[in-house]
Amino acid sequence: MPRLSRSPVTWLIYVQLGLYAYFLYGFGPVVGLLRDEQGVSNTLASLHSTALAVGAVLGGAAFALLALRFGRPRLIWGALAGIAVGIAGFVALPAWYPVTMLLTLIVAFFGTIVINGVVVSLAQLHGPAGPAAISEANAMAVGAGMIAPLVIGLSVGIGLGWRAGVGVLIGAIGIVALVAWRLGIVVPAREAVSVAPAGKLPLGRAYWLVWTMMVVTGAIEVVLSLWSAVVLRERAALTPAGASAAVSAILLGMLIGRAGGARLALRGRPIPLYFAALGVSLVGFAVFWWSVSPVPAIVGLLVVGVGNGMHYPLGIGLALSVSPEQPDRAAGVAAYGMGISFGLGPFVLGVLADEVGTHTAMLLVPVFLAAAAGLAWWLRASMNAQGLSLRGAS
C-alpha cells in the first residue's frame, strides 16, 4: 500500500489550492447577493457561472503551454497574483453586471491554472500516493473554502457588505507568499510534457469517459453551491445572511468526504468508491429537497457534501492515471470539462428556476447523479473489455 509522506512543499501546495477555494466556494452566496444588488433575473445571475466556465476553459487551454514556458512553481504564484488583482476589482469597482462578469472570468482563468498546477505537482511529487495527496489537498481546500460563506455571511450581517468578506483573500495571498519566501519553501520544478501538435497522443476512450463524469459531477457541485442558498431563503425561511452562512454545511460535508477519501484512496478502488459517493450525495439531496425547516435542510446539505467531496479527487485521479504520459495536457483538458459544468449546469437550472421555481429546478441534481453512475459503469465495462489493468478500475 502506498504511503503519503507530507513535506513542507506538500503543505505549501495544499495552502495554494486553499486560497483559490476561498473565492470559489464563497462565490456561490455572492451570486445571490449580486442578483439582489443588480436587480437581474435568476437567468442573468446564473450567467456568472458561465463566466466561471469561460475562465476555466481558457485557463485549461493555456495551462500546458504556460507550464512549459514558465514552469509550474512560478506559474502557480503568478496565477495567485492574478486572482488577487481580480478580487481587488470586485472590492473597488462598482457592481455593474458587465464588470462583475468580466472579473469572474479573470479570477476563474487564474484559479484554473492554480488547480491544474496543484493537481499535476502533487501527482508527480507523490507518485503512487498522488491520488491520496490530491484528495487531501482538496479536503484542506474545502476547509479553507468553508470559511468563506461564514465570513461573507458575517460581513453582510454586521453591515460591511459582501466585498469585505471577499477582499480578505488579497491579504491572505500576500501573507502566504511572504511566509513561503521567508522560510525558503519552493516547489521543485518538474519537466512539463510537450504540447506540440506532433507530440500529442490520443487521450483515449477511458479518459473521455472520466472527463464526462467530471463534467456531470462538477455541475452538481456548482449548482448546489450557487443555488442552495436561494432555496434555503425561499423554502426554509432563512435570512440572506443566514442562508449564505448555511452553505458552509456543504463545505463541511465535503471536508469530511475528502479527508476520509484520502485514506480510502490509499487502499480502496476508485470506481466502487465513486459509486458509493454518488449514493451518499443522492441521500443527502433527498433530505435537503424535502425539508421545509432549516435544521433538516442544513443536515441534508452536510450529507450531500460528504458524497460530493469525493467526486472530483476520484475523477481527476482516474484522469491522470489513464493518461500518465501527458499529465499537463490531461489536467488542462479536464479543466475544459469543469468549465462546461460551471456554465451549463447553473445556467440550465437558472432558466428552469425562472419557469418553475428554484426548488423544483433543483431536481436536475438527481438526474446528474444518475448520469454519472451510468458513465462510471460504462468506464468499468470499457476498461474490462480492453483488458486494461488500472488499480481500482474494476
Rounded Cα distance, 9 and 192, in Å? 18
pLDDT at 36 over 70: yes
Q: Which domain holds residue 213?
A: 8-187+201-386
Of 126, 137, 118, 187, which is closest to residue 328 (Cα–Cα)? 118
What distance separates the 2 farthest-apart alpha carbons in the chain?
61
Residue 394 lies in a domain: no
Residue 244 lies in a domain: yes
Q: Three cell numbers at 246?
A: 448555511
For residue 176, with 0-12 CB atoms within 10 Å meaning exposed, 13-18 middle and 19 or more buried, which class applies?
middle
For 87-104, the pLDDT digits (tens) are 999 888 888 888 989 999
Q: What is the CATH number of the domain that holds 169?
A: 1.20.1250.20
Domain count, the chain: 1
Residue 2 lies in a domain: no
- Which DSSP letter does residue 201 get? -
Confidence of residue 49 (pLDDT cuts 50, 70, 90): confident
For 119-150, the pLDDT digits (tens) are 888 877 777 677 778 778 878 887 787 788 78
Residue 193 lies in a domain: no
Residue 255 lies in a domain: yes
Residue 1 lies in a domain: no
pLDDT at 196 over 50: no
CA separation (Å) from 2 to 142, 262, 282, 327? Answer: 24, 12, 31, 20
Rounded Cα distance, 234 and 289, in Å? 12
For 268-292, the pLDDT digits (tens) are 677 888 899 999 999 999 999 898 8
Residue 3 lies in a domain: no
Residue 195 lies in a domain: no
